[in-house]
Every structure is written in C-alpha cells, then in structure tokens.
C-alpha cells in the first residue's frame, strides 16, 4: 500500500485498498466512467464523484511533491539545509505547512529588516530578544552606532525591524494568528467613496459585515466582484484582536523591562505590517477557493440536469428562431436532425404578416408531416407561441419552448460551419434549437458549457477548475446515456470513454466509407483504435438492430461470454433471455460469481437485459405559460406555471413567460428547511409559483413555491 493511497484514503474517508485500486486503474489509462461502471469489484462500487475526488487528491499530492523538491533544492543551494529541516519539509502535508517552513529561507527583495542587518544591527536584535532585565537601552545600543546608524533611536528601530521579520516568519506565530482567523474572522465590505451611484447593483454590500465561515459562496463571489470592479473595499480580520494580542505577547514577550517593551513593539509591528496582511491574503484565497468550488459544483449540477433533459426523440421537427424586425427563421428537420427546408416569416412588429406566416407554417407542417414545433425562448418567443396556438394546423402537432442559450455561440462556431457550411448563422441557430428538442445532450455537447448560462458567477471562478469540472460532467452524462454509434456526431463521440477528437473523427470517417457498424467488434477495424481504447469505449456505444442484441445494451463485450453462458444454462437464446422476464428471474446470480465478477457486475447485467436500448432520460413533454405578457400584468398572490431556468445556492430562477425570470428565494422553496435548492427542484422542471413582489424599477420578480 503506497503512502499516497494511505494519505488520500484518510483524507476522504475511503479505504486505502479502494484508493490504491482506483489509482492503478487511472495509471493504466482507465477513465472515470469506465471505472465506475465496469470495475465495481475492484473499487468497492465507488461512484464517479468519489473516483474524481481520488484523482483530484492525487494531483494535489503530486503538485505538493513538485513544490517540495523546489524548496529542498533552494535551501540546499543556500547551504542551510539541516537534517532536521529536511525531515520537517518531507513531513509537510499541506502547501501552507511547506511554505511556512520555506519562508525564512525564501530569497527576499530588500526589506527594512535586511537593510538593518546590512547595517550590523542583527546582534542588537538578538540581544533584545533575550530580553535582559535592564532598562538602559542607550548603553545597549551605543556600540552599534555608526555613520548609517547615527542615533540610539535609529539602532532600536532597525533592531525592531529585524525582530518583526523574525516574528512574522515564525511558524508557531503564524499558526497562532491563523487560529484566531479561523475562530473569529469576519468579512466586511464598504462602498468606495464617490462610487455609490455607479456601484448601485452592489448596494446590499455598502455596509456589510458577517462571520467569514458563515458567508455563502455566492455572497463571497459577489463581494469579490464588486471589489475587482472598484466599487467595494473588503477586509477579512479576526474580531478577537484583544485575545490575539495577548497570545502573541505570551509567545514573545518576557517581563516588563525596557528590552521587553522593545520586543512588544516589534510584535505589534509584525502583526500589523506583516502577519495580518499575509494571513488575510491566505484567508481571502481560501474563501475564494471555497466559493469557487461551490459555484463550480452548482454549475456542474445544473449542466448535468440540462444535458440529461428528456429528449423528444427521432421525430420530424419544425424549429423557429423568433425575432421581431428581422423576422422568424424557420427550418424543418427530418427524424435524424438533417435540414430539409428553411425560410423566414414576419408575423410580428413591424411587418405584421400574420396571415402569410400562418399559411407558410401550415404548408410546411403538412408537406413534411411535421410532428412537433420547437420555438426558441428568447426575443419574440412568447409571441411566436401565441401565433402557433391560433394557427389552424391540419394535423396534430405539439409546441415546445426551447432554451436558446448559447445557440448564437454555436451558430458562429467552427462546428456549425463544418456541419452547415452552405447556410448563414440565422439558419444554423434555428437548426440548433430544433436539434436541442430532439436530443439536448447530442446538441449541447457542441457548445462551450460556459455559454449555456446555467451557472452562478461563472466568469469569476478559477477557469481551469471550471473547465475540468464541466468537461468531466459532459463526459459523465454522455457515458451515462450511451451513444448511438451509427448516428452520433464526432463531437458527441469525442466525449465517449477512451475516445477523443482524433478517434471520434476516425470512427465517423470509417462509418462514411464502410456504412453503418454492424457490431461493436467492428470498431477494432477503425484506424488507431487499439485494444485499450476498445476496452474503454465499447460498453458505452450502442448499435440498434445489431447482429448481437447485447450490442444495444450497456453490457460490456468482455461479459458477453458470461451472458451467453446464462442463456445456455437456461436452454434459451440471447433474444429469449432479453424478451422473457421470467427467465431472467430464474437466474441464480451466485452461480456466476468468479474472481473478477461479483454481484455488482451481475446485477448491472440483469438491469441492462431488462431495458436494452432504453434511453434513461424519459421523453419531452409540452408546456404552456399563463396569459401574462408584461411586468404590469403581475399582481401579488397570482399563481402561475413556470419553468426552472437556473439553480443557485440562494434560490431558483423561474421563467413565467416574461423577458425576465423571477426568483424563488431558498426560503420560499418549501415549508420545511431547505439545505440546497437542488434538493427541491431540477433544471427545466415545470413548477407552479406565487407572485410575492414586483419591483418594476429594478426589473425583479419575487416568487414563492410555498403552500402551492
């Protein structure tokens, strides 16, 4: 068992054996989805979240070890690396511990302390630190006077400057200050004088103070943003400065003689000038890290819900990207999302070609046997839905309002130019809206997740960590659903476990040249798709109407022989085993347990046989807003249907059919205490809300879901 596995296991509350198994699998090129799905026996059925935590913890330890090597080399080059110091550095378990040890040896620019040392005052500083019980400081300092240190006051000041830096670099002292910050640090915000009007959106924080430990992530990020934009001034400081001062005095000051008073002055200077700013910076960084992690978690959860939204499926769709002056772009897509027809109608202001627009829509629906109409939920979306409701279609057709967040980003992207090279951005945007209805996951993977707009303060958080979390979320969703090998785009395929952009392109190229895949085994003929890539990806790829029915399930090819043995033992075919639930019920799973196959894998196999090829996301359902069109139409107490458009830690934004969404504060989500809004609602869920308050000046709507 490696020391790293022990350390990670202890930190995460996971057995070291499980950690070791995960690390070995990751080292051998396994992906998180593959490990979670197909190596449950090895990991003790750890889920993707726990496996990702192990991976992140391992990366942090690697980074710490790299920094440790730099620190050791630097101190060794200075000739100051003692055996005791080396042992302490090797034992440092956190970046803070390591940097505290390195601080006295870190190469410094010129400081007040280094200048005083150059002037020969270090022996005086050491003599003061001994705190002799004498009061004649003039006699103590007299030997150190020279051209650069002309007076006793100058000598004592220089000695205190040296002492202050020693105190500021002392590990025990820094830990003492940290403990007080941890116990009683408050974060305070004040408006920058003269910026009251420009920074009005931050007025809630113009005179704010609360315990840092209790400050939620969204508030920390809001205040940091206000500070970065120049409207707020923030401070983080402990509230028990009297107790802190007493603790520091106890650490450094002995007695009350004149020398001790000089040390006390140095302690006060060290705290105000060195320690307080340094530890405040540490706690700012920690607060930002905590807020970032929470904001990224919320964003990833929202993205997961959006990607796993129920699809309409393979049906013929007419999609509309609505607009007023420039008209509504209309496209017709076949059941596979291919563009069949496009045009523009002008039913709204200023043209008001209502009759002509309805005739065009009726004609297209009839001509292409359209089954559903998707309308973008942006500008003129509500008015376009009203137009559809009053259009006399000759065949049954369902209407869906579809989020168009990020559609403009897609339409101008290289992906869209590659897919629809002969069409302009307006047509591409309408196509994207239609495809989102048919399969949100397949379409949204083409767009940078940050452009989808389901996060909080997404531009303020650590962008590298955000990208990693969102990419991991997309990969998780794609593999949880499974991918149709014969229809998936290269962008969707690139997120499949074990693949990537290059192999995804090779699969599409092979498919174009040779026709649809007839079996998973045929994947091995794709150029550069070797045994490892096949192992990682095969279980997540589906082939409808394949020669082997297991190719349309989540059962991995490495277990096909086991399933075939089950069928032989029952005296039936694979197709019979899939079709007959009673046959599956008669299987005694314990008979098939072996060295690398346990009950978790066997139970997964039975679940897949129960629902071969079934999409776990369900199916889309149409929705209709109430008859409200303007802010003035709302009155307190009114109950309305709505759609959840964004989930944050402080509440939920709900679209009730206006240009602005209303906010259901976390306190208004339920009659019971709510720890997280995500415990109550999901993204794009339809809900009923009550209007609490309408603020026309700030364009805000307060809503409630209590007692409805």
User: pLDDT per residue over 458-513, tens digit each?
Assistant: 788 898 999 999 999 999 999 999 999 999 999 999 999 999 999 999 999 999 99
Closest CA relative to residue 647, chosen from 685, 620, 616, 619: 685
> For residue 626, what pLDDT band results from cuts at 50, 70 and 90?
confident
CA 428 remoteness from chain centre: 28
- Average pLDDT, integer, range 184-203: 94
Among 265, 267, 75, residue whose Cα is nearest residue 172: 267
Query: What is the per-residue pLDDT across 673-708, written as a single tens digit (0 to 9) for each?
Result: 998 898 899 888 889 999 999 998 888 999 999 988
pTM recorded for the entire structure: 0.84
Confidence band, pLDDT 50/70/90 cuts, at residue 625: confident
pLDDT at residue 614 is higher than 80: no
Rg (CA), the chain: 33
Q: In whole angstroms, how far apart are CA 181 and each of 165, 245, 513?
A: 20, 13, 65
User: What is the SS3 assignment for 334?
Assistant: coil
What angle separates helix 381-389 from helix 354-367, to the nearest 10 degrees?
Answer: 70
- Residue 1 clears pLDDT 60, i.e. is over it: no
Give the H or E element holding residue 219.
Answer: helix 217-228
Domains for the chain: give ranges and CATH numbers. 3-88 (1.10.10.650), 112-299 (1.10.3500.10), 317-454 (3.30.420.140), 501-610 (1.10.150.310), 631-704 (2.40.50.140)
Tens-digit pLDDT profile for residues 77-105: 999 999 999 999 999 999 999 999 999 99
Using the structure block, give the residue that is written with the tokens 């919320």.
298
**Token output for 422:** 């002969």
Distances (CA, A) of 216 to 184, 663, 675: 16, 18, 12
Q: What is the DSSP code string of 565-586?
A: HHHHHHT--HHHHHH-HHHHHT
Q: For 276-290, what is the mean pLDDT?
A: 96
pLDDT at 43: 95
Instruction: Answer whether 704's CB lies under 8 Å from 668's CB.
Output: yes
The 10s digit of each residue's pLDDT in 127-179 is 999 887 878 899 999 999 999 999 999 999 999 999 999 999 999 999 999 99
β-bridge pairing 339-345 and 328-333:
antiparallel
Q: What is the mean pLDDT of the chain?
A: 93
Tokens of 662: 């209303």
Whole-angstrom distance, CA of residue 528 vs CA of residue 497: 15
Distance CA 293, CA 171 (A): 28
State the chain's maximal CA–CA distance in angstroms: 108
Long-range Cβ pairs for the range 566-569 (8 Å, 24+): 566/592
Whether residue 253 contacts residue 264, with contact meaning beta carbons closer than 8 Å, is answered with: yes
- Whether 453 has a pLDDT exceeding 80, the answer reads no
- Mean pLDDT value across residues 561-568: 95
Confidence of residue 2 (pLDDT cuts 50, 70, 90): confident
Q: Which of 346, 551, 315, 271 is nearest to 439 (CA)?
A: 315
- CA distance linking residue 435 with residue 337, whole number of Å: 6
Tokens 């109608």 found at = 345
Helix (H) or strand (E) run with residue 134 in it: none
Query: Cα–chain-centroid distance for residue 60?
Result: 18
31's enclosing H/E stretch is none
With beta carbons less than 8 A apart as the criterion, state whether 626 and 643 touch.
Answer: no
The answer on pLDDT for 431 being more than 60 is: yes
Share of the chain above pLDDT 70, in %: 100
> Residue 345 corresponds to which tokens in the numbers above?
């109608």
For position 630, what pLDDT does the model report?
85
The DSSP 8-state label assigned to residue 327 in this structure reads -
**Which tokens hold the place of 265?**
């002055």
Query: What does residue 106 show for φ and ψ, rounded to 5 degrees?
Result: -65, 130
pLDDT for residue 84: 95
**Interval 48-57 mean pLDDT:** 96
How would you label 434-451 residue by residue, b for 16+ Cβ within 10 Å and e otherwise?
A: bbbbbbbbbbbbbbebbe
């Amino acid at each position: 068992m490696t020391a790293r596995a022990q350390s990670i296991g202890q930190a995460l509350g996971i057995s070291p054996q499980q950690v070791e198994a995960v690390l070995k699998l990751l080292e051998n090129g396994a992906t998180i989805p593959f490990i979670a799905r197909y190596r449950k026996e090895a990991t003790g059925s750890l889920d993707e979240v726990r496996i990702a935590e192990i991976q992140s913890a391992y990366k942090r330890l690697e980074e710490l070890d790299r920094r440790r090597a730099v620190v050791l080399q630097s101190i060794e080059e200075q000739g100051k690396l003692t055996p005791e110091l080396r042992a302490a550095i090797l034992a440092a378990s956190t970046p803070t511990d390591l940097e505290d040890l390195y601080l006295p040896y870190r190469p410094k620019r010129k400081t007040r302390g280094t200048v005083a040392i150059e002037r020969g005052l270090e022996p005086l500083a050491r003599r003061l630190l001994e705190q002799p019980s004498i009061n004649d400081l003039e006699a103590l300092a007299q030997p150190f006077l020279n051209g650069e240190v002309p007076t006793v006051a100058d000598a004592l000041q220089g000695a205190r400057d040296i002492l202050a830096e020693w105190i500021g670099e002392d590990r025990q002292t820094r830990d003492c200050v940290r403990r007080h910050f941890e116990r009683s640090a408050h974060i305070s915000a004040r408006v920058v004088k003269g910026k009251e009007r420009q920074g009005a959106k931050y007025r809630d924080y113009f005179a704010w103070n609360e315990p840092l430990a209790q400050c939620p992530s969204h508030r920390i990020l809001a205040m940091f943003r206000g500070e970065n934009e120049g409207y707020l001034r923030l401070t983080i400081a402990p509230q028990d400065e009297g107790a802190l001062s007493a603790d520091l005095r106890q650490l450094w000051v002995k007695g009350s003689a004149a020398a001790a008073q000089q040390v006390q002055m140095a302690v006060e200077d060290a705290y105000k000038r060195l320690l307080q700013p340094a530890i405040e910076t540490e706690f700012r960084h920690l607060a930002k890290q905590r807020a970032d992690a929470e904001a990224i978690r919320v964003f990833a959860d929202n993205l997961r819900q959006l990607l796993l939204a129920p699809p309409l499926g393979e049906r013929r769709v007419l999609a509309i990207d609505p607009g007023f002056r420039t008209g509504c772009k209309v496209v017709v897509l076949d059941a596979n999302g291919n563009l069949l027809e496009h045009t523009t109608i002008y039913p709204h202001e200023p043209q008001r070609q209502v009759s002509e627009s309805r005739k065009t829509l009726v004609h297209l629906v009839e001509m292409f046997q359209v089954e559903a109409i998707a309308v973008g939920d942006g500008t003129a979306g509500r008015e376009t839905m009203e137009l559809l409701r009053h259009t006399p279609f000759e065949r049954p057709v369902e209407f869906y309002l579809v989020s168009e967040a990020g559609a403009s980003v897609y339409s101008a992207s290289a992906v869209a130019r590659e897919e629809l090279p002969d069409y302009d951005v307006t047509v591409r945007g309408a196509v994207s809206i239609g495809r989102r209805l048919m399969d949100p996951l397949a379409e949204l993977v083409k767009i940078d997740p940050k452009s989808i707009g389901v996060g909080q303060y997404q531009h303020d958080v650590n962008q590298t960590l955000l990208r990693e979390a969102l990419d991991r979320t997309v990969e998780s969703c794609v593999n949880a659903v499974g991918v149709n090998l014969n229809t998936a785009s290269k962008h969707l395929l690139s997120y499949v476990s074990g693949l990537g952009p290059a192999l995804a392109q090779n699969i599409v190229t092979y498919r174009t040249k040779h026709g649809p895949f007839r079996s998973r085994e045929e994947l091995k003929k794709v150029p550069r798709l070797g045994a490892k890539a096949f192992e990682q990806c095969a279980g997540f790829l589906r082939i409808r109407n394949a020669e082997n029915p297991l190719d349309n399930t989540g059962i991995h090819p490495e277990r096909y022989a086991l399933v075939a043995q089950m069928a032989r033992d029952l005296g039936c075919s694979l197709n019979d085993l899939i079709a007959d639930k009673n046959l599956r019920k008669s299987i005694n799973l314990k008979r098939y347990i072996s060295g690398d196959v346990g009950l978790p894998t066997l139970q997964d196999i039975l679940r897949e046989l129960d629902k071969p090829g079934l999409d776990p996301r369900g199916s889309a359902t149409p929705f209709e807003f109430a008859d409200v069109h303007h802010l003035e139409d709302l009155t307190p107490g009114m109950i309305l249907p709505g759609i959840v458009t964004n989930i944050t830690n402080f509440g939920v934004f709900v679209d009730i059919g206006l240009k602005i969404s209303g906010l259901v504060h976390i306190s208004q989500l339920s009659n019971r205490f709510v720890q997280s809004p995500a415990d109550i609602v999901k993204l794009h869920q339809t809900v009923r809300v009550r209007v609490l308050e309408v603020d026309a000046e700030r364009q805000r709507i307060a809503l409630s879901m209590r007692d409805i």
